[in-house]
Structures are given as C-alpha cells and as structure tokens.
Amino acid sequence: MSKALTRTDFNFPGQKNVYHGKVRDVYNINDEKLVMVATDRISAFDVVLPEGIPYKGQMLNQIAAKFLDATTDICPNWKLATPDPMVTVGVMCQGFPVEMIVRGYLCGSAWRAYKNGVREICGVKLPEGMKENQKFPEPIITPTTKAEMGLHDEDISKEEILKQGLATPEEYEILEKYTLALFKRGTEIAAERGLILVDTKYEFGKHNGTIYLMDEIHTPDSSRYFYSEGYEERFAKGEPQKQLSKEFVREWLMDNGFQGKEGQQVPEMTPEIVNSISERYMELFEHITGEKFVKADTENIAARIEHNVTEYLK
C-alpha cells in the first residue's frame, strides 16, 4: 500500500512560521519565499477527510506547476521552483482577500441558485431560460471572499469589493483582465485534451507593487472539467455531464449521507475507497496534462521533501 502524507512539521533554514491549510502547508522563509507543500489530505464540504489519498499532493502540485509555466506570458506568477514532486517554492505575496471565480457554464452552486429563481450572482445578471450545464454567452466572474479556516467563503460583487477597499478600481481591473485571459488559455489547453474547462478559481497577490498569480491553477481541486465528447448529446437530453473534478468524492459522500452538516459522520474510508480515489486522480492528471503520471517514491515522503527543499534553499 502506498503511503500518504497527511501532516507536516518541517523546520527549514530561515523558517519563520507555518500555515496549515485544508490541503496545503505553507512555510514562510524569511518573509521572502513560501514553501508550499501539497499534502495528500483531501477536503470536501469544507471538511478535511480522515484518510489521505496517495499521490494526490504530487498530482496537484505537478498540474499547477505545469499551468503556471504555461501562462507566464499572461501575467507574472509566484512560482520559483518545484524542488520536490509535492512542493512549489515561490515569492511571498500579500494576497487579495478575494478569490476570482470564473464560470463558463451554468452548473454547481450557480445552477442551484438559478433553479431557485436567482437571476443575479455577485452583481452579474443572468439570462432567462437557461438550463443546467449550458454555456454562458461570455464567461462570468463571480468572486468570493477568502474566509478564515473553518468558515465558508461568501459571494461578493465587484461593487462590494471596491466599497470595502479589498482592491482599488485599478487593481480590480487588472484582476479581471488576468482572470479572463487565464481562463481563455485554460479553455484552449483543455480543448486540446478533449476537455471543457467549466469553471475555476484564481488567487492573486502583490509583490513589490506588482500583481502576481498565486497558489494553484487549473487543478481538479480548483476547477471543474467536462469531457467534450458527448457534451452536446447529454445537454440536449438533460443528462448529467461526464466530469473531471473532485465532484465524484462529493457524490460518494452524499450517497453515504454526508454533506458536512452538523452531526453528520464521514463514512468509513476503506482502503478500496482510498485507492479508487487515488486512481481517479491519476486519470484526472493524465487527461489534464496529456502526460503519463510517474509515481514518486513514497517510502519516506517527509525525509525526501526535507532533503530536497533544504538543498534548494541552501
């Protein structure tokens, strides 16, 4: 059985502090660089599940690195290096407290709201008569606030972002421009792989006065993909789309009576379930990147990361 890395406790040269997120642990090096470790933790409904998923961190880290490299002509990003399959080292940015969510299709939470009669999301008016999984005339940006740990992100409009001073009008214009350009590039790359990039989120921050793209990009944890083949037929028949995203994990949890609500228990994650999730992530990786997934050595993941990152920071 392959091992999974679910917690880290490193002490890198120059380390000032560490932030343990839902799936990533971020180490601050001298207030200059960040060492972001993509662990094998998995979250759904804002809850970290009890079992780690072997190779998940490696897959997410490598997908994000690939897409960060493929978009440097659009905007600067935080990545400096990937010294280990599960680690990205980058410049430290002062993050904007909003996530830029961009949607090309009406689905997920937007569809649930629409179905209940909502015709405006985050200040964006939606056309009448749309169906689930229908393509928007143009992609729409529906930002959310970046909530503290344990709290849910909240929808927010551009007007509200400006009113609260979360970004200046000039900054927001750049965020909007970058978001749409990145989504367009992500859509083009997905199309080459027989996929549709349905929606995704981007995070931005400032470094030396310049706006940088931060964090992960176009991974199955931050994005939703449909398969292009059969999309039209399924849409015409009102059938669910074949998806490439973490949705299958949420569906398994819902089928077993868990939606992150108070008093609900996470269903037992047997080795078979854990393995099947790991295999699905590999399928996602290979589809999204067009490359074969090469498993890193999992004998002693923490020691491997410690060695690789320490060597890099020297």
Average pLDDT (203-226) is: 94
| Same domain, yes or no: 149 and 105 | yes
| Shared domain check, 206 and 108 | yes
What pLDDT is stored for residue 229 in this prediction? Answer: 96
Give the angle 29-32-34 at the CA atoms, nearest 5°.
55
User: Is 252 a member of any domain?
Assistant: no
Please write the tens of the pLDDT for every residue from 167-190. 999 999 999 999 999 999 999 999
Instruction: Report if residue 68 sits inside a domain.
Output: yes
Of 77, 312, 107, nearest to 213 by C-alpha is 77
Kind and range of the H or E run holding 204: strand 195-207
In a domain, 75, yes or no: yes
Q: Span 65-94, mean pLDDT?
A: 98
Q: What is the pLDDT of residue 182?
A: 98
Same domain membership, residue 197 and residue 120 = yes
165 and 229 share one domain = yes
Name beta bridge partners: 29.
Answer: 15, 33
Task: Give the ranges where the chain is alpha helix by DSSP (H).
Answer: 56-69, 108-115, 158-163, 169-192, 231-237, 247-255, 271-289, 301-313
pLDDT tens for 242-295 read: 888 787 888 899 999 999 899 999 999 999 999 999 998 998 899 999 999 999
Same domain, 192 and 307: no
Domain total of the chain: 2
Q: Find the CATH number of the domain harbouring 84.
A: 3.30.200.20
Q: In this prediction, what percent of the chain has a pLDDT beyond 90?
A: 87
- Same domain, yes or no: 240 and 105: yes
Same domain flag for 108 and 226 = yes
Residue 136 forms part of a structural domain? yes
Same structural domain for residues 168 and 239?
Answer: yes
Q: What is the pLDDT of residue 87?
A: 98
Residue 148 has pLDDT above 70, yes or no: no
Q: Give residue-wise pLDDT tens across range 95-108.
A: 999 999 999 999 98
196: containing domain: 96-244
Q: Tell whether 107 and 179 lie within a shared domain.
A: yes
127 and 224 housed in the same domain: yes
Tell me whether residue 269 is in a domain.
no
| Cα separation, 204 vs 198, whole angstroms | 20
Last-in-domain residue among 244, 262, 295: 244
Domain-located, residue 264: no
pLDDT in tens, 7-41: 999 999 999 999 999 899 999 999 999 999 999 99
Does some domain include residue 8?
A: no
Whether residue 302 is found in the same domain as residue 168: no
For the chain, give the mean pLDDT.
94
pLDDT value at position 150? 54
Q: 279 lies in a domain?
A: yes
Same domain, 292 and 176: no
